[in-house]
Structure 1
Amino acid sequence: MSIKNNIQNIKSQLPKHVILVAVSKTKPVSDLMEAYDAGQRVFGENKIQEMAEKWETMPKDIQWHMIGHVQTNKVKYMAEFVDLIHGVDSLKLLKEINKQAQKHNRVINCLLQIKIAKEDSKFGLSITDAKSIIESQLFSEFKNIKVVGLMGMATFTDDMIQVKEEFEFLKSNYNDFKKLKTKNFELSILSMGMSGDYQLAIDCGSNMVRIGSSIFGARNYN
């Protein structure tokens, strides 16, 4: 199967309202261009430097999503061009994104990453911590960020009942958070679901899926 066929195949199965983020981390620009030529315009990277290098060389109508864990000292390298930052898990990080976005006179869209998995290795905020960020005085003063949704990663398990429960937990909190609308907090995106569980995620209310290996094949970490 070619990358083009994979993209077309996946897109044909996605409901119209669901955004496909092609997770292109570790993949060469030639692979990304094959996806681009098949009509894909949203790409997700988990390393800021790699994303910046690809942004430099690739067409400028691409939306770049930062899907990995973000270190505050790296934000400046993507502030000029990033479209959406998925893994926002602290007020400190939001403050830095706001500061760097201000330098480029733009507003950067963010998703709060909620910890829904049972594994310790996954980053993310508890619901309580997320609420206290949104309700904090400091957050209300940020002019150069906008939180537009929530993101969550389910436990890496074959137990789909557990995965479904985790997705439903996030969807229910997403519905609650939607009511808290402010000028820099207005939710429209629920990002959950990857190659192994995106169909289930969509059934549970996801409208953005992050798919890598089903498009580009296995990753090369050498």
Structure 2
Amino acid sequence: MAAPAVESFAVAALRSVMVRVRQAAERSGARAENVRVVAVSKTKPVSLIRDVYDAGHRRFGENYAQEFVEKAPQLPEDIEWHFVGHLQSNKAKMLLSAVPNLAMVEGVDNEKIANHLDRAVSSLGRNPLKVLVQVNTSGEVSKSGVEPANCLELVKYVKSRCPNLEFSGLMTIGMPDYTSTPANFKVMFFSQCQGMKMNHLVHCEV
């Protein structure tokens, strides 16, 4: 009897988030429909993801490659999957093979993983894969991401040397203390302004 209550709470939480997104968009003058919310479902059971899916949500993210490849085949094919965070290069092809509806990798932080993803996409004959370059804006050694000073160089590498990848923006994970987060995002904004044209600018918070 406990499981349905947990799933109902997840749906209610999603609806609350979507309301806050609309309100934030209105305050900033943006169009709410242009804001894309990815529900990160790591460690959550397939039944809970299905519950949120049945409520109308279609974008989900996973952090752990092995868990991802086990869960994705059990869920509808029209889900837009995102891999969020650091991906080991030796798992790139496995992930792309097991999750054909993987829409984006949010966590390219070095040339090695970019090359592995590029070759995997080519060998599988699938459409170009959207990627976000992860920037370590907080300087924490526990977090992945390219140093802000090297961000533009990595972006140029992805755009010029990885024809099977579609550079779609930057992502970061702010510090846990929310009061410090705006400083992290200011670093992201500065990086964005260094001659980069992008479709997405993604801010992730812990």
Q: Bin the TM-score by the shorter chain.
A: 0.7 to 0.9
Counterpart position of 1:70? 87
Q: How do 1:159-178 and structure 2 match up within 5 A? A: 160=179, 162-178=180-196
Query: Following the alignment from structure 1 to structure 2, what is the Cα–Cα distance between the partners of residues 134 and 10?
Result: 31
CA deviation after TM superposition for structure 1 residue 5, in Å: 1.3
Structure 2 gap segments, 5+ residues each: 1-7, 26-31
Counterpart position of 1:129? 150
CA deviation after TM superposition for structure 1 residue 135, in Å: 3.6
CA deviation after TM superposition for structure 1 residue 172, in Å: 2.7
CA deviation after TM superposition for structure 1 residue 133, in Å: 2.6
Query: Following the alignment from structure 1 to structure 2, what is the Cα–Cα distance between the partners of residues 8 and 37?
Result: 13
Instruction: Give 3-state SS (helix, strand or coil) of 1:20's partner.
Output: coil
Q: TM-score, length-normalised on structure 2? A: 0.83
Instruction: Pick closer, same or farther for the CA change 1:31–1:177 going to 2, 3 Å.
Output: farther
CA deviation after TM superposition for structure 1 residue 139, in Å: 5.3
Q: How do 1:57-206 and structure 2 match up within 5 A? A: 57-80=74-97, 81=100, 82-105=102-125, 106-136=127-157, 140-158=160-178, 160=179, 162-179=180-197, 187-194=198-205
RMSD: 1.8
Counterpart position of 1:32? 49
The amino acid that maps onto 2:203 is M
Structure 1 gap segments, 5+ residues each: 180-186, 197-222
Is contact 1:91–1:139 with CA below 8 Å preserved after alignment? no
Residue identity over aligned pairs, in percent, reads 29
Counterpart position of 2:28? none
Higher helix residue share: 2
CA deviation after TM superposition for structure 1 residue 3, in Å: 1.4
Q: TM-score, length-normalised on structure 1? A: 0.77
- 1:111-165 CA-to-partner distances (Å, cap 9, x unmatched) read 00011013221111123322223344x851322111111000111225x1x2111
Could you tell me which of 11, 14, 18 is aligned with 1:7? 14
The amino acid that maps onto 2:14 is I
Q: Specify which structure has the bigger relative contact order, considering alpha-carbon pairs within 8 angstroms and separated by 6 or more residues.
A: 1
Is contact 1:8–1:38 with CA below 8 Å preserved after alignment? no
- 1:195-221 CA-to-partner distances (Å, cap 9, x unmatched) read x6xxxxxxxxxxxxxxxxxxxxxxxxx
- 1:169-196 CA-to-partner distances (Å, cap 9, x unmatched) read 20232233434xxxxxxx11111133x6
The amino acid that maps onto 2:45 is P
